[in-house]
Amino acid sequence: MIGKSGQTRDGIRIHQEVDFAGMHKAGALASKILDDIAEHVFVGQTTGELDRLIEAMVNDAGAKSATIGYRGYQHASCISVNHVVCHGIPSDKKLKDGDILNIDVTVIVDGWFGDTSRMYVAGGKPNRKAERLIQVTHDALMIGIEAVKPGNTFGDIGHAIQSFVEGHRMSVVRDFCGHGLGRVFHSPPNVLHYGRAGTGAVLEEGMFFTIEPMVNLGRAETKVLADDWTAVTRDKSLSAQFEHSVGVTATGVEIFTLSAANKYHPTWG
């Protein structure tokens, strides 16, 4: 049974059953945009042009971009290439063959936020290390999502992700985390992608949040460039990320940002 309307637990909002429909609608649009942008990722394309296409897709759907105007950010997406960990700013730089990139889109539909990101490869063929990184990062997200059910804790999610990633001798970024969302963009809790099982707030039906692990081939440390947004790996190693928006149900989890076309693998097309 979902708690009373407007209730919070540990500062985390408990949403109602009808709210799931709003999140599904917002999540579906964000996910569809990531499906549709795939064919525009090619060698010589610029991340600025990808962002313009994304902004047009958001507008054509009658939705709003959550990132334009957010803390002074001016784009409809973050596009993070190679050793950029997250919050890459779209630019006129051209993609090169084998570049790996994360595209992160957040839209607002009827007041609800849908936030999701995936990896793409310019030219379609990553090198073997990059391919492994992308696969491990996607698997890490899904393993984290498997830990989402009432009674488990946020520490269980972080622990599942961290042990999987480190088992593959890669590292989990500590400096950025997932977050609650719903009718707001970033709300409690911080969803860490590392941690100890059984620690942290207890998951309850009606909680909405993102899981968005960033995984590095080298060390976990990051730094933010002088533009105040772009986060890169300190050791310049490759970094990957996938993100879903999810909701806790009575028995487990619903993913709001699944791809209707099942377009997760960056080399499928």
DSSP states of 184-234 as a string? SSSEEEEE-SS--TT-SPBP-TT-EEEE--EEESS-S-EEE-TTSS-EEET
**Beta strands, E only, 52-159:** 64-65, 77-81, 84-86, 100-109, 112-121
Asked whether the CA dihedral 160, 185, 262, 103 is positive or negative, the reply is negative
Q: Does 67 bind Co ion (CB under 5 A)?
A: no
Q: Does 55 bind ligand MF3 (CB under 6 A)?
A: no
Number of helices (H) and strands (E) in the chain: give both, helices first. 4, 17
Which helix (H) or strand (E) element contains residue 178? Answer: strand 178-180
Q: Among 99, 115, 156, 205, which residue interacts with ligand MF3 (rule: CB under 6 A)? A: 115
Q: Which of residues 153-212 bind ligand MF3 (CB under 6 A)?
A: 210, 212
For 177, residues 6+ apart whose C-beta sits below 8 A from its C-beta are 190, 191, 192, 193, 212
Q: Among 10, 70, 97, 228, which residue interacts with ligand MF3 (rule: CB under 6 A)? A: 70
Stretch that binds Co ion, among 98-106, 149-157, 194-202, 227-235 (CB under 5 A): 98-106
The residues that bridge with 179 in the sheet, in sequence order, are: 190
Q: Does 106 bind ligand MF3 (CB under 6 A)?
A: yes
Q: Which of residues 213-252 bind ligand MF3 (CB under 6 A)?
A: 229, 243
Binding mask 11-50 for ligand MF3 (x = CB under 6 A): ----------------------------------------
How far is 231 from 252, CA to CA, in rounded Å? 33
Q: Does 87 bind ligand MF3 (CB under 6 A)?
A: yes
Question: 113 contacts which partner out of Co ion, ligand MF3, none, CB within 5 to 8 A by kind?
Answer: none
Q: Does 115 bind Co ion (CB under 5 A)?
A: yes
HSE (CB half, 13 Å, CA atoms) of 31? 20
Closest distance between ligand MF3 and the C-beta of residue 210, in Å?
A: 6
Q: Does 99 bind Co ion (CB under 5 A)?
A: no
Q: Among 31, 47, 67, 137, which residue interacts with ligand MF3 (rule: CB under 6 A)? A: 67
Whichever of 83 and 118 has its CB closer to Co ion, that residue is 118
Closest distance between ligand MF3 and the C-beta of residue 3, in Å?
A: 25
